[in-house]
Structure 1
Amino acid sequence: MLYIVQTALELGFLYALVAMALFLSYRILDIADLTTDGAFVLGAAVSVTVTAAGHPFLAIPAAMVAGACAGFVTAFLQTRLGVPSILAGIVTNTGLYTVNLMVMGWSSNVSLLKDDTIFSLFRTTGIGGKWYETVLAGGVTILMAVLLVLFLGTRLGLSIRATGDNRDMVRASSVNPTFTITVGLCIANALTALSGGMVGQYQRTADINGGTGIVVIGLACLIIGETVLGRRSILKGAIAVIVGSIIYRLIYAIVLYTKVVPVECLKLVTAIIVGLAIAAPTLRSWVAFQKKKAMAGKGA
């Protein structure tokens, strides 16, 4: 059971970076960015390929740069070519499939057999003992959360937050929303690619289909965290995505261990949870309206 908890913590920290990216794009910028699945695989592909070449530490920033480039393409389609945000993400995600194959040498998967990874090298330091993977994954995720919170408190960060609230107001304040959207999406996809890069080295493999459903999982983590901690501030939101990701992975691990739900149905259950959580405000309003309608009928 302890092994299950440890694995859930490790994966929770690693996938929290995806939820953090969605927190920036979906919650702050108010953009439904569907580049996530492709950017995750791109990060894993770049990370594993560079690691196989003997540069595990260089692989992480390389993955982030690649992810930022994917985010730039999506932002360019939206802001310069007038493509709707959802379609822009779909177009970029479709193109990334071929790009990811190219990065992996036209192979559907790449494995790291005896190559050193950042996890194996960190193990040699002795830090964390048997929990070294948890310590490294948690350290990187918490560092990114701190940097994101600090960045969103800067002038540029505040401009990005304002862009998500009201683009017309931002434009009237002599701030270029095209620039803020581009920066925001580049950072969001860099975080997604970082998650993919870390997961790739953690699992010692990159698969072309490894990003399927990642955006739904990220949204599930985001919504679970916000349900538990709320989203009244940027700091609380950043903490919420980490907590939500860990809770999701713990639930996932327990379900697999107890076999309450068939493994084949887990993504369907996740999709239903996310759909209901997003629709919750509308459902609450509908229930309240029906109650008022019923009370009005009794009064008549």
Structure 2
Amino acid sequence: MFVAIFGSVEQGIIYAIMALGVYLTFRVLDFPDLTVDGSFVTGGATAATMITLGYNPILATICAVFTGFIAGSITGILHTKAKINALLAGILMMIALHSINLRIMGFTLDSGNGRPTIPLSNSETIFTSMATFWKGLGIDEAINNTLRNIGFEQTPNTWGTLFLMIIVTCIIKFAADWFLKTESGLALRATGDNPKMIRSFSANTDTLIILGLGLSNALVALSGALIAQYSRFADVQAGIGMIVSGLASVIIGEAIFGTKSVVRTTLAVVCGAIIYRIVIALAMQIKIFDTGDLKLLTAIIVIIALVLPKVFEKRKDRKRKAKRKAERLAQLTGKKEGEPIAEIKWNQ
């Protein structure tokens, strides 16, 4: 169980980068971008193809980020310049990316035809390099020995992936916080809140939307590239339902940790992605579920995350109304503070 939860935390931190990208479009820009399902695979396909062809994993990951940025920017251009509906623009780009991803993955074949999967089991990735370096320091053995002494029988093979992704995700989170507080970031947030107002200040909302979608899908592609290296394969079907997973992470995080500030919200998104993966891992431990039920579980979790906050808010509203009603009643009847309503004597 501990190893399963540990793996979920590792995956959750990687998927948190994707969730931050979804947050930029759905919350900051108020743009329903379905490009995510395609750009996630684009990042993984680009990184896996380049690694297979012998390129450095870090260079391959950087190239994956650029391909994601280009995909998101094209969606923004379709919406702003071609005047295509936001939802339809995302769907069109998502469909187009499926064929593009097959083409990218086809570069590993002499024929150039698409292939659905690229294995990385025999290739060096960022995580295998980190694991080798981490084990050389002897930290893995020390941590695992400590865990065994306190009663944990099964321990992870390496802690390097976890610490690496904590550092990378924290850097991206703080970079997002900084960007959203800059002049361009504030203009981007204002575009999502009130585009007419920001246009009245001579701001180019079209450019801001294209920039926001590009940055969002760049983060999504980065997450896809890292997941492909973490899983040791890239799959053209890996992006199906990814937008729902990202939304689930955002909604769960916001419901638990709140959205009082940008810093708090981005932290909530990261934590929401981790919690979401842990919940999925625990649910899959139940025997009535199997791997094919993963999408069903995702939908159920999103529904619960959407409904529960509204239920709690209604309960709070009822309590506030009851309290105000009691206060008004006390003013009308001359009831003293702390006196039970049943003991109020009505004036004749």
Give the whole-Å Cα distance in 2 for the aligned partners of 1:40 and 1:184: 16
2:264 to 236, 243, 248: 236
**Structure 1 length normalisation: TM-score?**
0.91
Name stretches of at least 5 consecutive residues in structure 2 with no aligned partner: 107-113, 141-157, 322-348
1:13-51 per-residue CA deviation (whole Å, 9 max, x = no partner) reads 011111111111000100000000100000000011111
Name stretches of at least 5 consecutive residues in structure 1 with no aligned partner: 293-300
Which stretch has the larger CA shift, 31-40 or 138-147? 138-147
- Check whether the contact 1:6–1:131 (CA below 8 A) recurs between aligned residues: no
- Check whether the contact 1:45–1:104 (CA below 8 A) recurs between aligned residues: yes
Which stretch has the larger CA shift, 154-163 or 1-10? 1-10
CA-based RMSD: 2.0
Give the whole-Å Cα distance in 2 for the aligned partners of 1:243 and 1:172: 37
Matches within 5 A, 1:111-150: 111-126=119-134, 129=140, 130-150=158-178
1:114-148 per-residue CA deviation (whole Å, 9 max, x = no partner) reads 21100111123226632111111222111111111
Matches within 5 A, 1:173-212: 173-212=201-240
Which stretch has the larger CA shift, 116-125 or 85-94? 116-125
Deviation, structure 1 residue 276: 5.0
- Check whether the contact 2:67–2:221 (CA below 8 A) recurs between aligned residues: yes
Deviation, structure 1 residue 281: 7.3
The reply to whether residue 56 of structure 1 matches residue 64 of structure 2 is no
State the identity as a percent.
Answer: 38
Matches within 5 A, 1:18-167: 18-54=18-54, 55-105=56-106, 106-126=114-134, 129=140, 130-167=158-195
Which stretch has the larger CA shift, 271-280 or 71-80? 271-280
Give the whole-Å Cα distance in 2 for the aligned partners of 1:23 and 1:149: 12
- Check whether the contact 1:79–1:178 (CA below 8 A) recurs between aligned residues: yes
Give the aligned length: 290
Give the whole-Å Cα distance in 1 for the aligned partners of 2:176 and 2:295: 29
Deviation, structure 1 residue 266: 3.0
Give the whole-Å Cα distance in 2 for the aligned partners of 1:200 and 1:89: 23
Give the whole-Å Cα distance in 2 for the aligned partners of 1:286 and 1:143: 38
Give the whole-Å Cα distance in 2 for the aligned partners of 1:113 and 1:266: 24
Q: Which amino acid aligns with 1:108?
A: P
Which stretch has the larger CA shift, 209-218 or 129-138? 129-138
Deviation, structure 1 residue 263: 3.5
Which stretch has the larger CA shift, 249-258 or 65-74? 249-258
| CA distance 1:286–1:233, shift in 2 (3 Å) | closer
**Structure 2 length normalisation: TM-score?**
0.79
State the match for 2:247 in structure 1.
Answer: 219
State the match for 1:11 in structure 2.
Answer: 11
| CA distance 1:268–1:179, shift in 2 (3 Å) | same
Paired residue secondary structure (1:189): helix
| CA distance 1:279–1:247, shift in 2 (3 Å) | closer
